[in-house]
Chains A and B, each alone.
Chain A
Amino acid sequence: MAEEKEILQSNYLAYLNEKRLMGSECKGCGNVDLPPRKICSKCLSTDTAWIDLTDMQGILSTFSCVHVGTRRFEARGFNMKNPYAFGIVTFDNGAAIMGMLEGVDPLQPASIKIGMKMKLKFIETESSCGLQVDVGFEPAENAAEQEIVEEFS
């Protein structure tokens, strides 16, 4: 469905707060940019439009488990003994985005595998400006099964 909103960072974040992950698709070359861009990163065309990536799955391209975070993450209860994971997930269409990883154990980083199939899981936090929704991911169900198979093979 065509989206009328201008491609602006504020609109990207507004969509995110509605739990929609929106990128941009170039009508010229078909490239998908995430976060969205007015100017296509591949062919520089300005004929770009919103594309909804909310239901897409991707693979975990790389990750880290953070034990020393910023004050904002410390305030959320993360610390040396309670780390969080974040990483980059790449979708089939080539677009990639960074997000926190849930449904994985940051204290067992060896169990987190590059190449795992991941799906979006929006992460809600309370900020001084009210509810904030951020990009996050969790293992897709088939990835979990795949891992179990690997473990017992």
Chain B
Amino acid sequence: MGKLARDVAIVGAGISHFGQFPDKQIPDLWVEAWLDCIKNVDNGIDVRNDIDGGLYFGNFTADLFTGQGHLGPMLADLVGLTPKGATRFEGACASSGLAFRQAVVAVASGVADVVCIGGVEKMTSLPTAGVTEALAAASDVVYEARVGATFPGLYANVASAHFNKYGTTSEDLFRVAIKNHENGKLNPKAQMQMTIEDIMNQKIEKAKNSGGDVPEWENEFDFLNSSSNPVIAYPLRLFDCSLITDGAACLILAADSIARKFTDTPILVAGTGQGSAALSLNNRDTFTSFLAARTAAEQAYNMAGVEPKDIKVAEVHDCFTIAELVAMEDLGFAEPGKAAELVKDGQTKRDGSIPINTDGGLKAKGHPVGATGAAQVVEIYKQLKGIAGERQVSGDPEVGLAHNLGGSGGTCVVHVFKRT
């Protein structure tokens, strides 16, 4: 119990560009991520012969966004994986985290030696209200959505409770957004490759050029406190929300015993964990922490034999700024209510003690919900191999973590990775 039957390692990882792409549909996004992944398998891979375990694919709701279901075989066929098994996993925004975990279990069990994991979401074909409605399907549609819950609204309930219990402030949330945008600026695949200061200055320039009133913002906080950052669901504003994104991600996993055939530096999956909780927020014991996340983290840490202080780079599920603070507390990076202090102190920046969301996170890189869990693992793979380019964290990190949350915390998947 609580152990993998044999070691499993990542040997390849890639992602598509993240953004709003009217000319790219699900098959196009997926093939882009696949090609990026395959070209990055250091020693090459013979797709038809090497990948014996087929495709483990994460997608939340192509059905609602585009009308397309049954993605497994459709997407396996496009990259030469048929007739091997191809399965789609759904756990809202944790869909490809779940797919990754099931792929790990498959390889560890000996059912397969090499498998492919993918994730995709095509979100921008609907207007914002339609996206809000599709995402609301991840909440309880009768007990939550019917009485007005939206995803920003649910996380706003978490934020209100966190503010009330711990004294967390909107400024604490702004710091998370500012940091993630700083990282996103260095990620050529990110949807928003701009800092919040860049965005602010762009708005000032635009106002100057149009001859209108020029805003007098002193700094980013001033800008984020202004009407240019409208309230979406109090206390959350526009810049507290992640993005509506088209994107895909892809990974190749292999049994550790054969992983060096594909790369000299495979990244070991040291621990895997998954938790669940009542779907409705009102049926939880607390609104300031996610039981599913604490459960998944405990399993992953125990399996990996590490503690929170050992993690040197982490991807956490910042679908909303408040979610990054709660994730830090659920993962044990900070005591409950203390995550904001760590952020304020700069410890979650790339040169801090626990760099978080070095790729820009869901906030700046973007959040194609079904691709997010896999994309997080892609970033940790790059950081641990030292190939993250301009945004590479210093200190040669050996242990990393990915935390992928579904819905308002009904599902959570946590993985711990180690350089071998």
Contacts and interface: CB of A to CB of B under 8 A. Distances in A.
Contacts of A66: 148, 150, 152-153, 156, 232-234
A69 B156 contact: no
Contacts of B129: 68-71, 74
Interface stretch (A43-51, A82-90, A145-153): A82-90
Contact of A70 (B132, B230, B235, B280): B132
A71 B133 CA distance: 7
B161 A114 contact: yes
Contact of A83 (B132, B136, B234): B234
Interface residues of B, number: 38
A70 B136 contact: yes
B158 interface: yes
B148 A68 contact: no
Contacts of A106: 234
B112 interface: no
Contacts of A74: 129
B130 interface: yes
Nearest to A106: B234
B283 interface: yes
Interface string B163-180: 010000000000000000
B1 interface: no
Interface string A48-71: 000000000000011111111111
Given A62-B161, A97-B143, A68 B149 contact: no
Nearest to A68: B232
Interface residues of A, number: 37
A98 B234 CA distance: 16
B132 A136 contact: no
Interface in B247-295: 278, 280-283, 287
B231 A62 contact: no
A70 B127 CA distance: 11
Contacts of A86: 147-149, 153
Contacts of B233: 64-68
B152 A68 contact: yes
B160 interface: yes
Interface in B216-239: 230-236
Contacts of B154: 64
B287 A88 contact: yes
B148 A96 contact: no
For the residues of B in contact with A, the DSSP-based class is helix
A97 B150 CA distance: 15
Interface in A63-109: 63-74, 80, 83-84, 86-88, 96-100, 106, 109
Looking at B159, B164, B231, which has the most chain A CB atoms within 10 Å of its CB? B231
Given A68-B129, A70-B132, A84 B234 contact: no
B133 A64 contact: no
B148 A100 contact: yes
A77 B132 CA distance: 16
A61 B278 CA distance: 17
Contact of A35 (B143, B156, B161, B235): B143
Given A64-B234, A67-B233, A86-B153, A96 B142 contact: no
Nearest to A97: B282
Contacts of A39: none
Contact of B232 (A9, A67, A84, A109): A67
A57 B250 CA distance: 51
Contacts of B358: none
Interface in A2-39: 9, 13, 34-35
B145 interface: yes
A41 interface: yes
A62 B130 contact: no
B230 A80 contact: yes
A88 B157 contact: yes
Contacts of B236: 64
B234 A87 contact: no
Interface in B101-151: 128-130, 132-133, 136, 142-150
Looking at B136, B147, B152, B236, which has the most chain A CB atoms within 10 Å of its CB? B147
Contact of B147 (A9, A62, A67, A134): A134
A70 B232 CA distance: 12
Given A41-B283, A68-B233, A62 B160 contact: yes
A74 B233 CA distance: 14
Contacts of A61: 161, 287
Interface string A109-153: 100001000000001000000000011100000000000000000
Interface of A: 9, 13, 34-35, 41, 61-74, 80, 83-84, 86-88, 96-100, 106, 109, 114, 123, 134-136
Q: Which 5 A-B pairs have the closest CB atoms?
A: A64-B156, A86-B148, A65-B234, A62-B161, A70-B133
Given A34-B282, A67-B231, A69-B150, 18 more contacts: A41-B278, A64-B236, A65-B231, A66-B153, A67-B232, A68-B128, A68-B132, A68-B232, A71-B129, A86-B153, A96-B282, A96-B283, A100-B148, A106-B234, A109-B235, A114-B160, A134-B146, A134-B147
